[in-house]
Amino acid sequence: MNKKKLMLVEDDINLGNIIFDNLELHNYEVILFRNGEEAWQNYEKGKFDLLLLDIMMPKRDGISLAREIRKVDPLVPIIFLTAKGLKEDKLQGFSVGADDYLTKPFEMEELIVRMEAILKRTSKGVLMDSIKEYKIGKYTFNIKQRTLILGESQSKLTTKEAGLLEQLCIQKNNILTREIALKAVWGSDNYFTGRSMDVYITKIRKFLSEDPAIEIQNIHGEGYRLVVDEA
């Protein structure tokens, strides 16, 4: 089996070396960078399977690094590793497309488990093999490619956006409960992932906004419902 290739960006020398050594022991190939600018300059050369980004770094912080990476690669999984545990910081991290967020100090075992859960969802083993695509009004949603196609235009979705849209499609015209969506896409239904999902729902609405027959309804206290007027 080929090793998964990880980008680790951490300016704390001791912590960076500890994480690096532990990940190598778990059979990952790890490229370590000490600041966000160095990581950005080398990103497109690497073809990474997952990124581990510190937030507070010299030259370029993790949030701005993730924002730049998302412009060229909407799919690569990103986990933030940071000492900043405030709710606002976590929401900002998710809003730029993070898949997960781990506050320092953390146990290496927890990092490995979270990484493996994300890689299982996002690796070439894709989201769901039984159905390749959905028709959503005038759109075609290709699950394996994570693309949303309308006529000649095509939008690339992130892993989370595609996973959440898939859950909405599975439950089309029925209620998708918050609990089911969060556990299926994020693997957890805690407060922070719940707030993150609201951000992703807003993004999906924008993707689908060209077809007025499509609506994603908020069902108060329960979840969401994807409604498509087939008339």
In a domain? residue 44: yes
- Structural domain including 62 reads 5-122
Beta-bridge partners for 80: 53, 101
Please check whether residues 77 and 155 belong to one and the same domain.
no
Residues 6+ apart with CB under 8 A from 226: 136, 168, 169, 171, 172, 173, 176, 214, 215, 216
pTM to 2 decimal places? 0.58
Give the span between the Cα atoms of 201 and 216, in whole angstroms: 8
Please check whether residues 153 and 190 belong to one and the same domain.
yes
Question: Hey, what amino acid is at 67?
Answer: R
Please check whether residues 104 and 11 belong to one and the same domain.
yes
Q: What is the CATH number of the domain that holds 42?
A: 3.40.50.2300
Domain count, the chain: 2
Please check whether residues 111 and 184 belong to one and the same domain.
no
Q: What is the CATH number of the domain that holds 170?
A: 1.10.10.10
- Kindly give the confidence (pLDDT) of every residue in the chain, 231 residues in length, as a single tens digit, with 9 standing for 90 and above: 578 999 999 999 999 999 999 999 999 999 999 999 999 999 988 889 999 999 988 889 999 999 999 888 878 899 999 887 666 767 777 778 888 888 888 889 889 988 887 887 666 444 444 457 899 999 999 988 899 999 999 999 998 899 899 989 988 888 888 888 887 787 766 666 777 888 899 999 999 999 999 999 999 888 999 999 876
- 129, with CB counted inside 10 A (0-12, 13-18, 19+), is exposed
Please check whether residues 61 and 93 belong to one and the same domain.
yes
In a domain? residue 168: yes
209, 150 in Cβ contact below 8 A? no
Q: What are phi and psi of 98, to 5 degrees?
A: -70, 150
